[in-house]
Amino acid sequence: MTIHLLSADHLSQGLDVVARLGGNSRRLGPDILAAVPGLRGVLVLATCNRLAVLLDEPDGAVPPPDGPGESSLAVRETSALLERRAGMPGGSAGLSAVRGVDAYRELIATAAGLRSMIIGEREIAGQLRRSLVRATEEGTISADLCRLVERASAASRRVARETALAGAGRSLVAVGLGLAAQHMPVLEGARVVVVGTGAYAGATVAALRDRGVRDIAVHSHSSRRAAPPDQAARRAREPQPVSAAGPDRATAFARKRGLAVVGPHELPDRLASADLVITCRGLGGPVITRGLIDDALARRASREPDPQDPRASRRPLVILDLALSRDVDPGVADAPGALLIDLPRIRQAVPAAQTAQVEAAEAIVAEEAAALDRLMGGRRMDPVIRALRGRAEQMVVREAARLRPDDGRVGLDDAVRALERLAAALMHAPSQAARTAGEAGLAEDYLAALPMVLGAIGGPDAPAPTPAQEAR
């Protein structure tokens, strides 16, 4: 068994390449499993700044690499598939590929946030667990990939526990909100629209609530109608009738969190009255267009000034785009009265991690990767162990069949003879191998390997056992 990790990230390939490769990650795992022969499992991790693909390739399933620097056939075909899906020329993505203990180390470091745009962020660990759930649902997970993800998740928790990298403010959402707050008088009193209903949208709402923001509305293409915050909160507490088709995603998302829902027709007016718009949908195309923002800003300018805050209409509409494949038309950045904060800008504002803390985290990652490599190496011998035990059980069954119980009992002499025959059968192959090794001049090699199989055993010059040892 060999585990491969293919990846593209914001540092090595850049956000544009990551967006193209990961913008269409739906059903990517099943597609890889169907297209690449011999794979036992596939797991896909798509985040805002990386695409990682884990491949579980059984030993001997495909021809081995031509040399230490060559990729296996499974890696080459997976890379080609990713590039075709992204509409990129073959070999242009420049995917990174590692295997074995290097793959374990890279996955653990990724789970611990050490390869993220913001060093030490904890969101990636949750994304990895959700990727495991999705691979299980899609039928692409293998036992070894499951074991690998679980150990990587545990190692990431150790990094968070034993270092200060996961402290307050070390997340993409936190840095983005910090930038947005610089252009707003008071974040706590802001009117916020969140576009998206996925896991990242949930993390965004939680971060807003932690900062005291209460006026939050959610929008997605599935939104059916708007509801005021007090009504949404009441619905969250009361059981609601559900249609046969079930609630739309935005309604279900909002109901769970006590938020207002913004339907498609209410969106322009809601944008006009908003202080902050946060998008984290990332489904491949802008949902906040220049035309939509121009319309919202025009509505904003036509309104009577708020006597309690006469400068409100002159403040920019802050738009925070957290999506890798942009949710906001880049042209919005040129709209007078709008301020766009996107991932490249967030990356420039990332707080520097302390070198000592990063080094401590990397040491933990190396230690955990080595432990995982030993574990996986041991699991690789499972078929051998099962075969050895099965052979021994067959010998026991054969000797048991030769016994002749008398009134349900076996005489001592018969039992001893049966055990002697069993011992002789078990030792036949090692004994024959010992003689063959001696005849071939390989006695020392045989004696060096034998303790790994049978434990400490004396060589030809070892003293004979004492009567007491024989009795035992």
Q: Which residues are annotated as a binding site for substrate?
A: 47-50, 116, 121-123, 127
Rounded Cα distance, 373 and 438, in Å: 35
Residue 48 corresponds to which amino acid? C
- Grouping H, G, I as helix, E, B as strand and the rest as coil, residue 44 is strand
Question: Annotated binding site: which residue ranges?
Answer: 47-50, 116, 121-123, 127, 196-201
Identify the sign of the CA torsion 234, 238, 241, 245: positive
* Phi and psi angles of residue 57, each rounded to the nearest 5 degrees, phi first: -110, 115
**Residue in 48, 74, 124, 328 annotated catalytic:** 48
Question: Annotated binding site for NADP(+): which residue ranges?
Answer: 196-201
- Grouping H, G, I as helix, E, B as strand and the rest as coil, residue 98 is strand
Whether 48 is a known active-site residue: answer: yes
What DSSP string runs through 423-451?
HHHHHHHHHHHHHHHHHTT-HHHHHHHHH
**Which class for 71: exposed (0-12), middle (13-18), buried (19 or more C-beta within 10 A)?**
middle
Interacting residues of 97 by C-beta distance below 8 A, sequence separation 6+: 4, 5, 6, 7, 71, 75, 79
Rounded Cα distance, 247 and 230, in Å: 19
**Which class for 431: exposed (0-12), middle (13-18), buried (19 or more C-beta within 10 A)?**
exposed
Beta carbons within 10 angstroms of residue 12's beta carbon: 14
Which of 231, 233, 240 lies closest to 258, judged by CA?
233
Residue 248 corresponds to which amino acid? D
Helices (H), 189-334: 199-210, 229-237, 249-257, 267-273, 290-302
Across-strand partners of 52? 7, 45
Contact between 195 and 279 under an 8 Å Cβ cutoff? The reply is yes
Q: What is the DSSP letter of 64?
A: P
| Residue 419, H or E segment | helix 412-439
Identify the sign of the CA torsion 255, 260, 266, 270: negative
Residue 469 corresponds to which amino acid? Q
Contact between 284 and 294 under an 8 Å Cβ cutoff? The reply is no
Tell me which residues are annotated as active site. Answer: 48
